[in-house]
């Protein structure tokens, strides 16, 4: 009986050791997409009035966790029984991300009506603010879903051939760390100014170390928030372009002498603009037919 118990402990220790090694490899493979995920979601989680930032971020985080719960079982089943479907799903998701990037570029160059900003929020009713928040949360969760699929599939690719238990444990761990890590850092970013004000009010001395750090954080936040829009757009382009380059043979073998990053950026831009034009035309046709898209 005792020998069986110690054998079980040895098996558990071996499994945990294997998990640690495979999780480390999977984390390295997904590091790039996690960085893009952070940039995209930080940009989407910003722009709310101060007292609504954490509730909105928590709503997005819960949506992200639900995304992982939905994606993981399907990813394991599809990878095992219909592996070709993974490529199709990734490509469709890449088109959506590329479309979002193209839409942001279009809105930057073409005048348009802005949604909610920190200054404008005070001129809106509570119902209008909540409606705008709901729309932005929904958009963030949809984008998170696409990025979550990419993260999970990449992590799954590092444990192909391993026992199913190892696959489930490793990929689920990476998915959980992705959500907790990304949205934990996003929370720190969007609350940076509040932390700065608390540092300034920490003592009555003028120009103390806490005052200087606090003022730096308060002044840095608008720059960070503004930069996140650009970084998030670039991330959408590179992530979508990477999906196209690595999963579509024609694009993969096109211009073989070109650097991979350049091919990914161009693929994301070109396909994103094409999808944007098609969607825009479709919306105009539906509008002319008085059909709500």
What are the tens digits of pLDDT across the range 229-277?
Answer: 777 788 788 888 888 888 888 888 888 888 988 998 999 999 999 999 9
Question: Comparing C-alpha atoms, which of 276, 246, 232 is closest to residue 110?
Answer: 276
The pLDDT tens digits of the residues spanning 158-189 come to 676 677 777 788 888 888 888 888 888 888 88
Cα gap 220→167, rounded to integer Å: 42
Q: Judge whether residue 191 has pLDDT over 90.
A: no
> Cβ–Cβ contacts within 10 Å for residue 133, how many?
20
272 vs 134: which has the higher pLDDT: 272
User: Could you tell me the CA-to-CA distances from 100 to 6, 20, 103 in Å, in that order?
Assistant: 54, 36, 5
User: Could you tell me the CA-to-CA distances from 252 to 93, 189, 243, 265 in Å, in that order?
Assistant: 17, 36, 10, 13
């Amino acid at each position: 009986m005792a020998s069986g118990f110690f054998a079980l402990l040895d098996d558990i220790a071996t499994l945990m050791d294997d998990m640690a090694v495979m999780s480390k490899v999977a984390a390295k493979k997904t590091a790039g997409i996690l960085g893009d995920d952070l940039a995209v979601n930080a940009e989407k989680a910003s722009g709310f009035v101060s007292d609504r930032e954490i509730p909105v971020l928590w709503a997005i985080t819960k949506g992200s966790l639900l995304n992982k719960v939905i994606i993981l079982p399907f990813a394991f089943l599809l990878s095992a029984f219909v592996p070709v479907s993974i490529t199709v799903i990734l490509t469709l998701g890449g088109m959506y991300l590329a479309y979002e990037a193209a839409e942001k570029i279009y809105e930057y160059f073409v005048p348009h009506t802005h949604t909610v900003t920190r200054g404008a929020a005070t001129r809106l009713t509570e119902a209008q603010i909540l409606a705008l928040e709901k729309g932005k949360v929904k958009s963030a969760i949809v984008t998170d879903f696409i990025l979550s699929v990419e993260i999970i599939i990449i992590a799954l690719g590092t444990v192909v051939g391993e026992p199913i238990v190892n696959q489930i444990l490793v990929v689920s761990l990476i998915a959980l760390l992705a959500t907790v890590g990304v949205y934990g850092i996003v929370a720190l970013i969007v609350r940076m100014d509040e932390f700065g004000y608390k540092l300034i009010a920490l003592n009555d001395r003028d120009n103390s170390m806490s005052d200087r750090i606090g003022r730096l954080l308060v002044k840095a936040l608008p720059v960070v928030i503004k930069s996140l829009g650009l970084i998030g757009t670039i991330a959408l382009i590179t992530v979508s372009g990477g999906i196209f380059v690595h999963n579509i043979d024609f694009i993969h073998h096109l211009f073989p002498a070109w650097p991979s990053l350049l091919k990914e950026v161009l693929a994301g831009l070109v396909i994103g603009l094409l999808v944007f034009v098609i969607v825009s035309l479709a919306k105009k046709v539906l509008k002319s037919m008085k059909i709500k898209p």
